[in-house]
Amino acid sequence: MSVLPPIEEKSTYVEQMFANIAPGYDRMNRLLTFGMDQTWREITVAAVAPPACGYALDVGCGTGDFVTELAAWTPDGKAVGIDYTIPMMQAGHTKIAPLQHRATFVGGDALQLPFPDETFDTITTGFVMRNVVDIQQAFAEMWRVARPRGMVACLEVARPNNALLRFGHRMYFERVVPILAGLVGADTTAYTYLPQSARQFPTPDILAHIMQEAGWQDVSYRLLGLGAVALHIARKDTV
């Protein structure tokens, strides 16, 4: 049975869903990815190598795992995370508190970023784009707030190309994940939304095209986790 909301309700649905699962979000991430999610974030940030004195943004920051990684790369700069689900950022507050002025959370919408044009050297977004109502608009906003020559990295779920792996992946996400979520007392509807939203998400090739349409150049991607996730990177080239 589909738990996907109609498009006009998607934004409210997603926000409420993440507010509900916020306290256990990190634990479930580690469990469901066998601890690989943090490695994928490290690879993602390394792929765009934020400058030490740079200004970095993570869109849909959730509990802040990308923000802490960005802050590690920008000791003389600043890392900002933005999310419209306040309880997610509250759940991750203790991660960024020790970083003081070097990292901050901001409440706001990825489709209407509350930052001036050409603010950030580096932008990341992870496991967010399948939740937004308009992917191209989100990338257009990231392009707007990126500085010339600024980089973007997007980490999202994908489906393995190999038929056997794709079958195993589908069984895991569609059958095992909701059961695991129930066993550890997490919201099973939320963890049914996860595989269903992933199935509807554009393929890596189509996502690359969407990024180009939004203004990004030199778009490329690679698959991680045996094809379970795709890492796209691109540059803002204004000439």
Ligand X SMILES: C[S@@+](CC[C@H](N)C(=O)[O-])C[C@H]1O[C@@H](n2cnc3c(N)ncnc32)[C@H](O)[C@@H]1O
Which positions touch ligand X (CB under 6 A)? 14-15, 18, 60-62, 65-66, 83-85, 88, 109-111, 126-128, 131-132
The distance of closest approach from Cβ of residue 238 to ligand X in the complex, given in angstroms and rounded to an integer, is: 25
* 20-24 long-range Cβ contacts below 8 angstroms, 24+ apart: 20/187, 20/190, 21/186, 21/187, 21/190, 22/63, 22/85, 22/87, 22/88, 22/90, 22/91, 23/87, 23/91, 24/184, 24/185, 24/186
Tokens of 26: 């990190």
Tokens, residue 92: 């991750």
Q: In what order do the strands lie in the sheet containing 103-107?
A: 103-107, 78-83, 55-59, 120-126, 146-157, 229-235, 217-224
| Pick 85 or 122: Cβ nearer ligand X | 85
Give min distance, CB of 45 to ligand X, in A.
11
Instruction: For the CB of residue 54, give the shortest distance to ligand X in the complex, in Å.
Output: 19
Cβ distance to ligand X smaller for residue 87 or 239: 87
Of 15 and 121, the one with the shorter C-beta distance to ligand X is 15
CB 43 to ligand X: min, Å: 13
Report the distance separating Cα 89 and Cα 94, nearest Å.
9
Give the separation between CA 22 and CA 197, rounded to whole angstroms.
18
Q: Give the nearer residue to ligand X in terms of CB position, either 198 or 234.
A: 198
Residue in the shown chain whose Cβ atom is closest to ligand X: 62
Question: Cβ distance 60 to 15 under 8 Å?
Answer: no
Question: What is the Cα–Cα distance from 188 to 185, expressed in whole angstroms?
Answer: 8
Least CB distance to ligand X at residue 86 (A): 9
Per DSSP (E only), the strands in the chain are 55-59, 78-83, 103-107, 120-126, 146-157, 217-224, 229-235
**Nearest residue (CB) to ligand X, 57 versus 219:** 57
Measured from the CB atom, the residue of 12 and 220 that comes closer to ligand X is: 12
Task: Using the minimum distance from each CB to ligand X, give the nearer residue, 65 or 121.
Answer: 65
Q: How far is the CB of 109 from ligand X (least distance, A)?
A: 4
Nearest to 66 by CA among 152, 157, 132, 148: 152
Shortest spacing between CB 14 and ligand X, in angstroms: 5
